[in-house]
Amino acid sequence: MPIDFRAALNDEQYDAVTAPAAPLLVLAGAGSGKTRTLTYRVAWLISRGVPPGEILLLTFTNKAANEMLHRVEELTGIGPRRFWGGTFHSLGNRALRLYGDQIGLARGFTILDADESETLLKRCVEDCDKTFFKNKTYPRPGPLFSILSLARNTQQSIATTVRKNFPQHSEIEHRLDDFAASYEKAKREQAVVDYDDLLELWLRLLSESQTVADYFAQRFRYLLVDEYQDTNTLQAQIVDKLAPHHCITAVGDDAQCIYSWRGADFENIMRFPDRHPDTAIHRIETNYRSTPDILAYANAVLQAQPLGRHFDKELRSARAPYQKPHLVETVDDREQAEFVLKRIRALIEDEGVSASEIAILYRSHFLALEMQLALARTGLPYQITSGVKFFERQHIRDLVALLRFIYNPTDTLAWQRIATLLPKVGEKGAQKIHAAARDHAVLLQSDFVAALATDDVLSKVPKDAREEWPHFCASLAEVAAELRDGRAPALAVEHAIEGWYGDYLRGAFADYAERLDELKALATFATRFDTVDDFLSQIVLLNGETADARSATDAEKPAAAIRLTTIHQAKGLEYDVVFLIGLADGQFPSRRAIDAGDIEEERRLFYVAVTRAKNELYLSYPKVASRPGPGGMMNTPSRFLLEVPDTLYERLRIKRRFDWRR
């Protein structure tokens, strides 16, 4: 039976789906039926007599490609295997298997996984400089690979990439080109490729072999690209090389480009009409997700964008009005958490909203600490979809172990966790060092931490760790002095961050800045306690509560749980009720974005967060920002809140703790 495209689509979707074969840029707003439009576009081409083998569908996940092609099968009866459809990387692999020999790539090449790529890079670096990884402030193989990968995907120099994204390593940026060259040479000699090669070499193949480029251009007369705003420089150039005929349907939304930190280039979608002459732009602005009240707020967020730096669009709701978004000013993070939980209880218990339809969104992990603590105490089921719980994150556990050991030097498990972060120190080595320090302290009746710095103990330390051993011991001694003097544990946490572990953090993680923020949040949490034993005990109890909740969740598999997630992880999802927390300037937009004068992606991120809500949206910020040490600091509302006219939201004023009213 022929497909009734007119009946199946709204006017905007129908116009985009049935547009003539030419370069098309389909600006599909949040909740407007982007996937439906792309699916029906494929079906329309087939209904016009285009053979499936002439259609190429490029997506960012295999799941998305499979879902679309199976929907096409339901519409047309044509199976997915008759199309070339999948992720950029999977199709790059397919192209290189067929024609890689044209650029000297062995036909039997193998693909390295992430761990193997980092191992090979480590060997290449050590061949160039055996001492490089002995400096704990230098990037480890994983973070180093992240630097090189981002440079490759953005096609920027390594030096530029470091200065822009990894400034903690700016002093060594001039050394990384040699490492990259050695790594590339090793891959070619071993006939292996890594994940990024699947794009780089595919582009090289299309650029250097005119025969191959002509073959793809003639075979694939129609290209369809999903989530075009998320393409990086390599991917956009691949699309252009594949389609010299310019018959491309690029579907995306410039207002949802939020992944520059992993290589997405906002300019790709903005310059699409320049690169493809006579581009027809279709806007799909009817939103089936959110109420008109929420969309009025979202439109106001977009209206604050600089002129000429975005495509004009205005979302229109297909739903009836309900209620305006609510803005809540709280005293601090704790009152913010209390408000959210109070409202969530009312939603679940009094209004029948499923817990799984409630989401708490935040810009960065550290902003959710109070929320996690509050939820753990209440017993409400919750799920963190953007990573592990705060106190289970690796760097948090490291620093807590450091404090545990200093507080109780006989805690061998805490010692082992910290000591094994040193080069070439394994579990047995850590045990030997601990035993030597214990014996020395007993013999001389001295302090255990002080005993670590003696020559007797140093003789048990592996050679590779001896260079940083004095700094390690001195840092432990500084933290121990804070605890010995009976000062608040927050100062001990601060000293630990500023000392040896802070240097270790810089080299160990590509997302160093974000993890440093989380450690500072731990220091803020520590300000609640007068003694380190209370602080450490509370962490254990909180971990126990969350572990119990997790065990129950795993065993009973409840149907509903509140979602806690970063906004980045929430893209593409939707919830009946959204709480967007931590909306203070310096938190959202982040201080780094403000200092760099680069807040437009932050504004787009705010827009993405707002448009996750279907029925109710609560925007909150703490008036007082707690900081380690005495006192706090006053927050100002996020500039994104101040840009929206006050007629588009209602203020909720908290009259007293655990109570809220209009």
Binding residues: 28-35
Separation of alpha carbons 331 and 597, rounded Å:
29
Strand partners, 317: 287
User: Is residue 177 packed enough to be buried (19+ CB in 10 Å), middle (13-18) or exposed (0-12)?
Assistant: middle
Angle CA 341–347–350, to nearest 5:
120
Residues forming the annotated binding site for ATP?
Answer: 28-35
The Cβ-side half-sphere exposure at 636, using a 13 Å CA radius, reads 8
Query: CB within 8 A of 33, min separation 6: which ones?
Result: 10, 13, 284, 286, 288
Backbone dihedral region for residue 183 (phi beyond 0: left; psi -120 to 50: alpha; all else: beta): alpha
Separation of alpha carbons 26 and 297, rounded Å:
23
Rounded to 10 degrees, the C-alpha dihedral 563/568/574/576 comes to: 50
CA distances from 262 to 196, 231, 257, 266 (A): 12, 10, 11, 12
Contact 44, 74 (CB under 8 A): no
Angle CA 606–258–640, to nearest 5:
20
Name the DSSP class of 279. Answer: P
Strand partners, 359: 563, 578
Query: CB within 8 A of 605, min separation 6: which ones?
Result: 258, 363, 567, 568, 588
Closest residue by Cα to residue 394 from 424, 365, 428: 365
Closest residue by Cα to residue 235 from 260, 207, 268: 268
Query: CB within 8 A of 565, min separation 6: which ones?
Result: 359, 360, 361, 362, 384, 385, 386, 573
Contact 607, 568 (CB under 8 A): no
The Cβ-side half-sphere exposure at 92, using a 13 Å CA radius, reads 26
